[in-house]
Amino acid sequence: MTTRRGACPTLSAPMKTGDGLLARIAPAHGALTPEKLAGIAKAAGRYGNGILEVTARGKLQIRGLTAESAPLFASEINALDLGPVDGFAVETAPLAPPPPLAERINAHVVERGYAALLAPKVSVTVDVGSALHLDAIGADIKLIMADDGQWLIGVGGNGATAHWLGVGDERVAGDRALAILDLLAQTGGRARDFTQAQKNALRVGLEPALQHPARADSAPVGRFALKDGENALGIALPFGQVAAEALVTLCDAASDAEEIRLAPRSGLLLIGLDAPRQEALSRAAEALGFVTDGHDPRLSIATCAGAPACASARFDAKALAAEAAAAGLPDGPFRLHLSACEKGCAQPAGPVVNLIAVEGGCTLSSVGAKPSERLRTFLIERGETLRAALLRKTG
């Protein structure tokens, strides 16, 4: 079980939650096939509560494990030959192979033994640019390749909030990234806490950079071009969750796909299918409850785990999200964020309306968005109703 303060759950060290132990894995590109994903789902049904999640960062989570079943589950997953699924790994965009720069950073962490020295949630994103970019994902180190092949490097934020140090070619930007990792390993801290003097020192060799231009955050739903001329079919898990049985059925229907990749915003990318098979699989996925339409309102709602999955939750966030989507909400150019406690988990980037459960009620706030009166009324009334219902059930 995870004991290191602030640590993220892994396969070997799952984390205690309201519905048991939670394990998280991140298979590398090329490692996950329909057969192997079905194997994970079947094991989740045997050893957990049968609920799997793909997170906003594109990681796979398995819920409801126990102290007795977690080692058995881990043994089955390791037997699937998925490669490394635990520990530090650079995050890359799902539509392109990991670039050499990402491999260089991963190798540096391994060679220096930094995995045990870095703060638990230190992360690095290396983004070569695509429809499914990583701008919305926060990281200690963000590297983004420009059209001219130069690399923009920033620290301590997402595409909108990171402090941009400058631009350089692949070698220079890589050198700076490794220097930042060296500093993080020495201090055990996070890049967001760097002093101005530290940031200035890290600019050595970089050219000045303007603020990173904003890019629209695309949902992982639809058909996406790959660099080799093929296309990937993207579908999403509704509110990030799926039952093991539904995932197994999907994998069986997609058995002829070459690969499945996890994508940010709870997506699955199915690769190696021709157009007729993509169309047939999209229909099958829709029948199973997956999100297959880029205009589906469920794509505009981000939720925490909620009750009963989280012991801190004051309402069932997934149930409220389903009600909101069925009512055609949110009804504006923003995302809706539902958090069943004050921690505000699953907060998305960009314009957002937040409903957060606190002691004694629910609070409504917004960032860069103006909620309609209909949305405001719905959220407060339904949020309070669900909160009160949970209090009666647990009181």
pLDDT above 80: residue 211: no
Segment 127-154, tens digit of pLDDT: 997 899 999 999 999 999 998 999 999 9
Segment 65-81, tens digit of pLDDT: 999 999 999 999 999 99
Mean pLDDT value of segment 314-323: 95
Mean pLDDT value of segment 256-273: 97
Higher pLDDT, 288 or 28: 288
Mean pLDDT value of segment 323-349: 95
- Residue 98's pLDDT is 93
Segment 97-106, tens digit of pLDDT: 899 999 999 9
- Residue 384's pLDDT is 87
For residue 305, CA distances in Å to 54, 240, 286, 311, 367 come to 12, 9, 23, 10, 22
- Residue 129's pLDDT is 79
Half-sphere exposure of 181 (CA within 13 A, CB side): 27
Report the distance separating Cα 270 and Cα 223, nearest Å.
10
Segment 354-386, tens digit of pLDDT: 999 998 889 999 999 999 999 999 999 998 888
Closest CA to 74 of 113, 34, 46: 46
* Confidence band, pLDDT 50/70/90 cuts, at residue 209: confident
Mean pLDDT value of segment 299-311: 94
Report domain extents, the chain: 15-87+220-295, 95-201, 298-394
Mean pLDDT value of segment 36-42: 98
DSSP-derived 3-state class of residue 395: coil
* Confidence band, pLDDT 50/70/90 cuts, at residue 2: very low
Report the distance separating Cα 221 and Cα 163, nearest Å.
30
Q: What is the CATH number of domain 15-87+220-295?
A: 3.90.480.10
Segment 194-204, tens digit of pLDDT: 999 999 999 99
- Residue 3's pLDDT is 47
Segment 82-125, tens digit of pLDDT: 998 988 999 999 999 899 999 999 999 999 999 999 999 999 99
Report the distance separating Cα 314 and Cα 384, nearest Å.
9
Region of residue 143 (phi > 0: left; psi between -120 and 50: alpha; otherwise: beta): beta
